[in-house]
Amino acid sequence: MAAGPTVKQIMETYPGKIRRVIKNYPYKYRDFARISAEASLAALDQGKYWEMHEILITRSPKLDRASLISYAQELGLDVKKFTDSIDNGRHAGEIDRDLKLAESMDLYNTPTFYINGRQIIGERPFDYFKKIIDEELNQAGR
């Protein structure tokens, strides 16, 4: 099971009722994690964050620099801007802030989800999330 399709289903089921926030947590022992985080944010600069995010998830572990550049081409990004961004660590500060946040929360597993402060570690089926989301929405009177 992959989290991506479940998250997509959640977003489609609750339009306008929930907010999705993604933080970068490039695991230090995972090859290409840091450059992949840079790639997603470099794509964000050109309005293609979610498209790049989806590619990174579906094509992992093929996340080396050359592959990332080919994905940028595939998405129609300005490849020079994209490459300059990942090579120069343009988003290093943002990624470092996300890492510090994760450490301050004692978060060491991905994916980890928070629904109104309720922590869910790991991939779970849609119905698991739906139960929690419905409880939270009902509690909030939404």
CATH 3.40.30.10 residue ranges for the chain: 26-106
Please tell us whether the domain made up of 26-106 is placed in CATH 3.40.30.10.
Answer: yes
Please, are residues 38 and 86 in contact by the beta-carbon 8 Å criterion? yes
The per-residue pLDDT for 142 is 56
Which tens digits make up the pLDDT trace of 82-130? 999 999 999 999 999 999 999 999 888 888 999 999 999 999 999 999 9
Phi–psi pair at 113, nearest 5 degrees: -120, 150
Structure pTM? 0.83
DSSP labels, 55-122: HHHHHTT--SHHHHHHHHHHTT--HHHHHHHHHHTTTHHHHHHHHHHHHHTT--SSSEEEETTEEEES
Report the C-alpha gap between 98 and 132 in whole angstroms.
Answer: 25
Which tens digits make up the pLDDT trace of 4-49? 789 889 999 999 999 999 899 887 767 899 999 999 999 999 999 9
